[in-house]
Amino acid sequence: MSINDILKLTGHKTGNKDIALLKIDGFQVVVQILDVRAVFGRVDCLVTPAQGAGKMWVQLSRLSEVTE
């Protein structure tokens, strides 16, 4: 999926950026969105941390705009 396609699905939550804050147990981690999929009426995003390693699918509702 192209970055433009990703932003069409996630831009309203991420401020039209391919980075976002992921909320995990009281932490907020900056992540980059790599891919997006529509699953059973919701949107999931494949993300990787800005620093560190790994990838995971998360619901779009767990992401918010990076404002710093």
Q: How many domains does the chain have?
A: 1
The beta strand positions in the chain, using DSSP E, are: 19-24, 27-39, 42-49, 56-59, 63-64
Read off the CATH number of the domain in which 35 is found: 2.30.30
Model confidence over 17-65: pLDDT tens digits? 888 999 989 899 999 999 898 888 888 999 999 999 999 999 999 999 8
Query: Is position 40 within any domain?
Result: yes
Query: Is position 47 within any domain?
Result: yes
pTM of the model: 0.83
Query: Is position 49 within any domain?
Result: yes
Query: Is position 25 within any domain?
Result: yes
Query: Is position 68 within any domain?
Result: no
> Which residues constitute the domain of residue 44?
3-63
